[in-house]
Amino acid sequence: MSLCLRWLHNFRDKSHKRSGFVSPEERAQALTAVIRSTQSTAFRDELAALTSGKSLKRSSPLLPLRPFCDADGLLRVGGRLRNAVLDYDEKHPIIIPKDHHFTVLLVRHAHAVTLHGGLQATAAYLAQRYWIIRSRVVVKREIRTCVTCTRFRGETLVQRMGDLPEERVKPQRPFLSTGLDYAGPFLLRATKGRGHKAYKGYICLFICMVTMAVHLECVSDLTTNTFLLAFRRFVSRRGACYFLYSDNASIFRGAAQELKTMFQQNSSFYKEVGCQLSNTGTQWTFIPPYAPHFGGLGGSDKID
């Protein structure tokens, strides 16, 4: 359209011919010409009434908007925002019909500029300059037909989950069945003051599978020894843990083997506590490998 208007200008005024790339002024003139043509097709009776100084019909959809014609002959919304601190296009947006191909092009352009934004983002972008009749219906229709949005909106098939394990639905003492996981790293400081540096640490989470209560233990690293100390502190505070569920991390595998070896040794310390732990031993269960969606609350591959 800009090139067509340039040819028309050069044909009429041969002394001031335009050439080269299309300037922003030419693009603005082309857009104004397209809008004027669109309004003359959709709002022919309203334009004729306003240009002749008559009032609009009661059946006109533009009657509540109090429209007027600007200097370029475009229909704009009237309203009471003439003294507002806004741009002219925001105070008096251009009226656009809902059922027109030009409206579809405007909505598609706004949807692309807003990076495939939703209904609110696309409608807000259009409202900065245009007033589309029943804009929400038009914008929603175009967004639904957008191939890119439809592709990213599609939901993948999710396998139906099985029944919850008995440990999660059977009433029992808190932390009798516990899920285990790690969080971090975090920067830890033993005390405040100058000269005390922060060091990297982690949080060991013990989650009750019945009440979903959380017990936190701070550990300095991811070694087996630090975890065993954290587990000892947890048991001393919350009581014996019969069922412990975790993922297949190497630290947990090592800790399970360490506990199994510890209970089999013949030192005096383990002989003292062996009798008590034999009655309240912990059954450690690992969730299947490469299945983080199990969340440490179920699985197989038990280690006693």
Grouped pLDDT means (10 residues each) for the chain, 304 residues: 89 83 88 92 89 86 89 89 88 92 94 92 93 92 91 78 75 86 80 77 87 89 80 86 73 64 52 43 68 49 41
Q: What is the pLDDT of residue 138?
A: 93
Q: What is the pLDDT of residue 267?
A: 46
Query: Where, residue-wise, is CATH 3.30.420 in the chain?
Result: 166-303
How does DSSP classify residue 224? H
- CB count within 10 Å of CB 6 equals 19
Token couple for 211: 């009440």
Q: What is the pLDDT of residue 38?
A: 92
* Distance separating alpha carbons of residues 105 and 103, to the nearest angstrom: 5
Q: What angle do CA 159, 164, 169 make, to 5 degrees?
A: 160
Kind and range of the H or E run holding 246: strand 243-246
Q: Is the pTM of this model over 0.85?
A: no
Contacts from 50-58 at CB under 8 Å and sequence distance 24+?
Answer: 50/75
CATH code reported for the domain at 2-153: 1.10.340.70
Q: What is the pLDDT of residue 176?
A: 86
Instruction: Give the residue from 244, 212, 247 showing the smallest Cα distance to 230.
Output: 244
Query: Where, residue-wise, is CATH 1.10.340.70 in the chain?
Result: 2-153
* Annotation: CATH topology of 166-303: Nucleotidyltransferase; domain 5 (3.30.420)
Compute, in degrees rounded to 10, the torsion defined by CA atoms 245, 251, 256, 262.
-140
